[in-house]
A and B are shown apart, each in its own frame.
Chain A
Amino acid sequence: VSGVEGADPPIWRLLDTGPVTAAQNMALDEVLLQARDRDRCPTTLRFLEFSPHCVLVGLHQAIGLEVEEAYCREHGIDVNRRLTGGGAIYLDEGQLGWEVIATRADFPGVVGLEGMFARVGECVVVGLRRLGVEARFRPKNDIEVDGRKLSGTGGTERTHALVYHGTLLTDFDVDTMLQCLRLPISKLDDKQVQGFRQRVTCLRELLGATPPMPVLKRALVDGFAEALGVELVPGPLTTDEQAALAERTPYYASQGWVRGGSHAHAQASALGTVDQKTPGGLLRVAMQVDPARDVVKAAYISGDFFVLPARAILDLEAWLRHTSSRPADLRRRVASFFAANDVSLPGVTVDQLADVVCAAAAAAADRPGPGADAADVSPALPVADVSPALPVADAQPAADRGTA
C-alpha cells in the first residue's frame, strides 16, 4: 500500500458506533464481513465498545464450562459468543476493541495468516507508541509490553473477506474477571492473583492514568494510517448494513447463538501443577491442557529461580500456548525456544524445565474435566508470584522478538 511515490493512499472507512450491546457488536461483525465479502462496503477499521459490560466466549467454547452465569445475571453482565476463536474474555465498559474488516488484497505483499497478524499488530504497536507505550507484537496473537500482554487478538474469514480484531486493556478489573469467568486459576489468594496480574498489563498501569477514549482512538487511527499508508475517513454504516444489522441482531441475542449449538464443544480442560527443586531454586509449572485434543490451553511458570531476561518466562508461556501437549512435542517446543533466544537460567537446565513442563501436562491430562471446577485447582496453586526472585529492571531483551 505504502511506498508508491505520489500515489494517493487507499481510503479506508473509520467506523465508530460508540458503545452498543454485545449482540449488536457480534451481529455487526457478521454484517460487515458479509458486506466486505461481496465488495459492498469499503475496507473498514472499526472501534468496539460494549455496554453493558459483557463476557464473550470463543466460537467453539461451551458457556457452561467457561462462564459463571449466575454471577453474570446478578451483575447485569451480558454473555455472548464471538465469531472468532480463543478463550473467554471479560470486557467492561472502559475497554476499547479494534478490528479490521478487509480482504487479503488490502495487505499487498503480506503472505499467510501469520504475516497478516503481524502486519495488523504492527499498526496497533505504532499507535501505542504515539501514546508513549513501547509495545511489541508477539506471535502469534499478542501485543505485549515487556512480555506482559496488553492486547489479545483473533480473527476469522469468509470466502474473500476477513476480520482481525483485538481488545486493548485500558484498565484491568481482575476481581470481576475472576468472578465472571470459570477459570482454573480462580480461588486464588491475593498473592496469587497478583502473580496472574503480572502476565497482563493495561494502559492505566503503563501510563499512570487511562487515556481519554478519544485520545486512544486517535492514536490507533494514526497507527494504522502510518503503518499501512492508508487514509482513514470516518463514515457511517451504509443503508444496507443498517438494515442487515437490524435483521441479524435478534439472532445474535438469541440463545441459539449464545449457547453455540453445533459450534460449542465441551473443552475439558484440567490444570496440573508440578513443583521441582533444582539447584537454581524452586520451579513450579502449571499447565492447562485439553486432553481430548492434546492441546496446551495455558502454561504458567513460576518459582524462585533466577532468569534473564525476566520476560523470557512469559514469552515461553506464550510459545507453549495452543500447541501439542504431548511430551515429545513439548520437549521440542521448549528446546526450540531456548535455542532461538538468549536466556540465562542459572541452576536450571533446559531438560529440567522440559521435564517439569511435561510432568505438569501429564498431571493435567490425568485429571477429570471440566477444568473450571474448584476441585481442579491443585493444592499447589498454579500462579505463584514470579517477581520476587526475578530482576525487576532488565536491560537485556531476549534475542529477536523474544520468541522463536
Chain B
Amino acid sequence: VNGWTVPEELRYDVNDYWVRVGGGADLADGGAAAAGLGGTGVLGGDSPGEGSVVTIGLTPYGQDCIGDLLYLDPPVVGSLLVRGAECGSLESGKWAGMLRAPLGGVVHRVNPLLAELLRVVNDDPFGAGWLLEVRLGPTGAAEFATLLTPAEYRASITYRECAT
C-alpha cells in the first residue's frame, strides 16, 4: 500500500500495532525471530492459545503517522494489559500519546534496546525494534483471532490515506 510494508505472517490492529506469535528478535540473533523462525511459540499467523507469547511492535505506517519517537515509556514486566487500554506512553514532536495494548495478557518482556536506542523502533520496526512480548491471558487468544489480517490492514491504510 503506497510503499508501506505489511508482512503477510503478522496480524495487526487499528492502532497500527503488529502482532507476531513468538518472542521478539534481538540484534544478536540476526533477526531470526523477526522472520518467524524463533524457537518460541507458534510460527507465523497460527492462532496462539492462552499462555502463548506474542510480540508486539509499531508498524511503519503507524510510525509515520506519529512521527519520530522522542520518548517512550513502556509498561513494566508483569503488567496486566487490557486490549485497547493504555499500557505506556510515547512522545513525538509535541504529542504525548498512549501505547495501547492490542491484546490482553501480561507483559513478559520489554525490548531492552528501547532504553538505549529508541530509534531502533523506526529503523527496524518488524525486527529489532519490537516493543513488548506479551503472554496471552484467557481473553488474549480470542482477541488474537479478531486482529486484522494483512489484507484488512492494507485496506485500513488505504482508507486513511484517501481520507487525508
Q: Give A residues with C-beta under 8 Å from B.
A: 58-60, 83-86, 109, 111-115, 140-141, 152-159, 262-263, 265, 290, 293-295, 321-324
CB neighbours of B67 from chain A (8 A): 140, 322-323
Minimum CB–CB distance from A141 to chain B (whole Å) comes to 5
Query: A85 with B93: in contact, given A109-B163, A262-B73, A265-B71 (CB under 8 Å)?
Result: yes
Shortest beta-carbon distance from A264 to chain B in Å: 10
Beta-carbon contact of B65 and A141 below 8 Å: no
Bound form: Cα–Cα A116–B73 in Å: 24
9 nearest CB pairs, A to B: A154-B94, A86-B94, A85-B91, A111-B163, A156-B96, A85-B96, A60-B71, A322-B93, A111-B160
What is the predominant secondary structure among interface residues of chain B facing chain A?
Answer: mixed
Are B68 and A295 in contact, with the CB atoms below 8 A?
A: yes
Contact of A113 among B86, B95, B163 (CB under 8 A): B95
Is B1 part of the binding interface, using a Cβ–Cβ cutoff of 8 Å? no
Tally of contact residues, B, Cβ under 8 A: 27
Establish whether residues A322 and B164, one from each chain, have CB atoms under 8 Å apart when the complex forms: no
Query: Which of B66, B71, B73, B85 lies in contact with A159, CB distance below 8 A?
Result: B85
Which A residues are in CB contact (< 8 Å) with B69?
Answer: 293
**From A60, A85, A152, A324, contact of B122 by CB (8 A):** A324
- Are the CB atoms of A112 and B92 closer together than 8 Å? no
Which chain A residues lie closer than 8 Å to B91 at the CB level?
Answer: 58-60, 85
A115 lies within 8 A of B164 (CB):
yes
Q: Does B70 belong to the interface (CB within 8 Å)?
A: yes
Alpha-carbon gap, A304 to B6, bound state (A): 47
Given the complex, which residues of B lie within 8 Å of A140, measured CB to CB?
67, 93-94
Enumerate chain A residues within 8 angstroms of B96, measured Cβ to Cβ: 59-60, 83-85, 154-157
Check: B78 CB closer than 8 A to any chain A CB.
Answer: no
Q: How many whole Å from B4's CB to the nearest CB in chain A?
A: 14
Query: Judging by beta carbons under 8 Å apart, are A156 and B71 in contact?
Result: no
Contact in complex: A155, B95 (CB < 8 Å) = yes
In Å, the complex CA distance between A295 and B100 comes to 24
The answer on a CB contact under 8 Å between B68 and A113 is: no
- 6 further contact pairs, Cβ within 8 A, besides A86-B93, A324-B119: A60-B96, A111-B163, A112-B160, A113-B65, A154-B94, A322-B92
**A290 to B69 CA separation, bound complex (whole angstroms):** 12
A-B contact pairs, 6 of them (CB 8 A): A85-B91, A111-B164, A156-B96, A295-B70, A322-B67, A323-B67
A156 to B92, CA, bound (A): 11
Chain A residues with CB under 8 A of B70: 60, 85, 290, 293, 295, 322
Chain B contacts for A321, CB-based, 8 A: 93
Q: Specify the chain A residue showing the minimal Cβ separation from B86.
A: A159
List which B116-130 residues lie within 8 A (CB) of chain A.
118-119, 122
The reply to whether A158 and B86 form a contact with Cβ atoms under 8 Å apart is: yes
**Residues from chain A with Cβ under 8 Å of B119 in the complex:** 293-294, 324
Please name all residues of chain A whose beta carbon is closer than 8 Å to the beta carbon of B32 when the two chains form the complex: none
A294 / chain B contacts, CB cutoff of 8 Å: 119
B84 at the interface (CB under 8 A from A): yes
CB distance from B39 to the nearest CB of A (A): 32
Does B97 interact with chain A (Cβ within 8 Å)?
A: yes
Determine if B94 and A153 form an interchain contact, defined as CB atoms under 8 angstroms apart: yes
- Does B98 sit at the interface, judged by CB under 8 A? yes
Q: Flag if A112 contacts B65 (CB, 8 Å).
A: yes
Given A84-B95, A156-B97, A324-B122; A112-B164 close (CB under 8 Å):
yes
State A341–B152 Cα separation when bound (angstroms).
35
Q: Mark B84-113, 1 if CB is under 8 A from A, else 0.
A: 111000011111111010000000000000
Given A114-B65, A293-B118, A293-B119, verify A85-B95 contact (CB < 8 Å).
Answer: yes
Q: How far is the CB of B113 from chain A (nearest CB, A)?
A: 13
Q: Are B94's CB and A113's CB within 8 A?
A: no
Q: Is the CB of B164 within 8 A of A85?
A: no
A158 touches B98 (CB 8 A): yes
**Minimal beta-carbon separation of A57 from chain B (angstroms):** 12
Shortest C-beta distance, A365 to chain B (Å), equals 13
A141 touches B97 (CB 8 A): no
A152 to B94, CA, bound (A): 9
Residue of B nearest to A87 (CB): B94
User: With A86-B93, A155-B95 given, is the CB distance from A323 to B68 under 8 Å?
Assistant: yes
Q: Which residue of A lies closest to B161 (CB)?
A: A111
By a CB distance below 8 angstroms, the chain B residues around A322 are 67-68, 70, 92-93
